[in-house]
Amino acid sequence: MKNTIYLYSGPGAAPGCLYQTMHTLLQCLGSKYKISTIKQEDVKTGSWQKDAACFVMPGGGDVWYQMYLHPMGNEKIKQYVESGGSYLGLCAGAYYAGKTVEFGLGKGSEVNQARGLEVHQDRDLQFFPGIVSGPTLAEYDHYTDTGVRAADIQWGKRNLKLYFNGGGSFVEADKMSEVSILANYNMDDGTQRAAVVETVTGLGKTVLSGVHFEFDPALIIPEYGLQEDIIPMLKASNSDRLEFLSYVFEKLRLI
């Protein structure tokens, strides 16, 4: 029976993202599923596949995901999805699921490149068959929250404010037959970019998000350069965020 949601917690997973993701999974799905963290060594065995209802890759550093999961761990994740499983990729987990990652290009130094803060690399999973490019709304700062924004997201006819910190957009997603855009960034210049997408890989489904819709604004601590107006905007949009979560979990066949 597929009764466990696995949340990757190995190298690269950011503690704050793990905390928020675990909180949201327990809050929304904990009555129906067991929520279990999983390290890179266990991902590589593939034993988790037999009872996995979903594999969740949280925010953090996609370079480290590649370093510790290539190639065997990624082969197991891809095999799982192609056989009918579900994958949820959040921020770094969404970059990681693209064919190519472009992050912070032209804005880094050799030090930033070494830290994984300037990236132009292909990835193994390739659930999104194109480029995931970012940061979309503001430059990312590894040490502070100065790059955090309340992203203006268009979901159907609704506008949501969702937590953003370094996330990407899905280049030319509107031209890909196997990709559906679930939500867009409303950019300051009046254009839109794909913020959340659904993809089909074999028999499986994925939802990939450049924004942190898993972040509960009640748990965000305003420090390290976070703009003071962000949390009130996120709280005002929280009921819509919870509805969007239900929509995403339906897409992943979890509810």
- Domain 4-251, classified CATH 3.40.50.880, yes or no: yes
Q: Any idea what DSSP says for residue 15? A: H
pLDDT of residue 61: 94
Structural contact between residues 12 and 92, judged by C-beta atoms closer than 8 angstroms:
yes
pLDDT of residue 143: 85
- Write down the domain spans for the chain: 4-251
SS3 state at 189: coil
Q: Which residues contact 103 (CB under 8 A, 6 or more apart)?
A: 62, 95, 117, 118, 119, 120, 133, 134, 135, 140, 166, 168
pLDDT of residue 231: 96
pTM passes above 0.75? yes
Structural contact between residues 145 and 165, judged by C-beta atoms closer than 8 angstroms:
yes
pLDDT of residue 141: 86
Stretches in the chain below the pLDDT threshold 50: 111
Closest listed residue to residue 68, CA positions, set 36, 41, 101, 87: 41
Residue with tokens 């594999």: 55
pLDDT of residue 162: 98
